[in-house]
Amino acid sequence: MKKVLTLFLIVVTVFWLVGVAQAATSADKQTAIDAGLAYLAATQNANGSWNYSGYEPAATAAALLAFVDQSYKPLGWNGPDYSTVVSKATTYLLTDATALPFAAGGNWWGFGAGSSGIQMAAANNENTYTTGLTIPALSRLVSNPYGGAALVNPTDVISSTNALVNGMTYAQVIQKMVDSFTYYQTGPPGAPAPFTPVAADRYGGWRYYAGERDSDMSTAQWAPISYLFAGQVSGVTIPDGTVKTALQAWLTADQYSSGPNKGGVDYQPGAGIINDTHAGGFLVSNYFAGGGGSQADALAWLNAHWKDAPSGTWYGNEGHPYAMWAVYKGLETLYGTAGAGPISNLNPQGTNMIDPGAEWNWWEDYCQWLVDSQNANGSWNGYSSWVGPLAAAWDINILNATQTVAPTPEPCTLLLLGAGLFGMAGVRRRFKK
């Protein structure tokens, strides 16, 4: 009995020490998150948007996701009440929604004649980006994957000055947006207009705007990401079957299967723009589609290029917000943020250790960089076109370990619960991001 009690006390002590170590380091992440949210709140426009050179819906949706997801975490907004910020951002996005008519003929995805979807307005008709950012934000607003109530009920009826969405429920609006992606996925060779691809190797992806009949990897990731978020909303149906099969074809066509670029993912087949952004987008798309190309080869390529510095607009990893967000979504969806993970070619941990109680991995590497590079006003410098509120929102979500699919309990938490240490497990979770 004495040995059992001693062993029990040792287990308690070990987990208590781990919790203390992680509490201090998680405080660094939480401080960065708090400062980032304060920066976003201070720069929100009166109409609920954030300035972004014509791409206001994109920046607003990204910021909304950052605020909403943090509200569901144990520390919540950690002091300030950002409910007005969230409400104004949501109102702006719903006001900006526009109808997306479906073509009368050639309806190869099976939608009824005269049906339509909903998209977000954007500069230069790049609606795929803005709609792809808005679906995750609205989906997380009405679904809390961490347990507990969401900020808004998916069956709540919308009151808006926009006649298109006024009187609809949130779930209905999200479904219409999901349907827009599904309907305008680039069809196979020989498909009737408007689905006939401009080239055979563009089948199964998406590009800048609906009906473009083309695909590129930078854009195509937004449909799978949106499907994964929207799939958690009660009453919303995401596509299966043909959509996933077509996406697998696109992923296979756009990845190099041999040669010096093996595993790398191009902007379009043969374009020669092979970068971390496309690798991350490939991984999350591969997860949703259930295959397509080689996941192992993509991870090997990403591991080899992990330390690439931002350059030439499209290239690089740490310091490039678009690349970091795409890579984060791919790796987090596949592996979570704990454990060794698939990346071994990491940057040195350094002296300012973010999580000495955890294993140094790709996510800790990202968090280390984000904490160290944050500006005094809570923003990050960003890179090229990805700066200001858009960069801050994505960086906050990375630090916050925002999850695309519902999380599962961590092994350590399960052990603590099994030992009956409910109080201690609660304390540990309260500090862990």
* Per-residue pLDDT tens digits for 86-143: 999 999 999 999 999 887 655 566 777 678 999 998 777 789 999 999 999 999 999 9
pLDDT for 393 equals 98
| pLDDT at 280 > cutoff 80 | yes
| pLDDT at 387 > cutoff 90 | yes
| pLDDT, greater one: 124 or 207 | 207
- Cβ(66)–Cβ(39) below 8 Å: no
pTM above 0.85, yes or no: yes
- Burial status of residue 38 (CB atoms within 10 A of its CB: 0-12, 13-18, 19 or more): middle
Give residue 21's pLDDT band: very low, low, confident or very high (50, 70, 90).
very low
Tokens of 167: 């009187």
Tokens of 281: 């987008």
Query: In this predicted structure, which of 47-51, 59-63, 222-226, 352-356 has the lowest mean pLDDT?
Result: 352-356
pLDDT for 90 equals 98
Total domain count, the chain: 1
| pLDDT at 2 > cutoff 70 | no
Give residue 305's pLDDT band: very low, low, confident or very high (50, 70, 90).
very high
* Rg of the chain, C-alpha, whole Å: 22
Query: Which CATH number fits the domain that encloses residue 253?
Result: 1.50.10.20
- Cβ(431)–Cβ(27) below 8 Å: yes
CA 353 to chain CA centroid, nearest Å:
26
| pLDDT at 248 > cutoff 60 | yes
Pairing of strands 97-101, 116-120: antiparallel
pLDDT for 414 equals 31
Give residue 187's pLDDT band: very low, low, confident or very high (50, 70, 90).
confident
Tokens of 35: 């400062």
Q: Which domain holds residue 325?
A: 2-431
- Cβ(23)–Cβ(14) below 8 Å: no
Give residue 84's pLDDT band: very low, low, confident or very high (50, 70, 90).
very high
DSSP bridge partners of 315: 311
Give residue 431's pLDDT band: very low, low, confident or very high (50, 70, 90).
very low
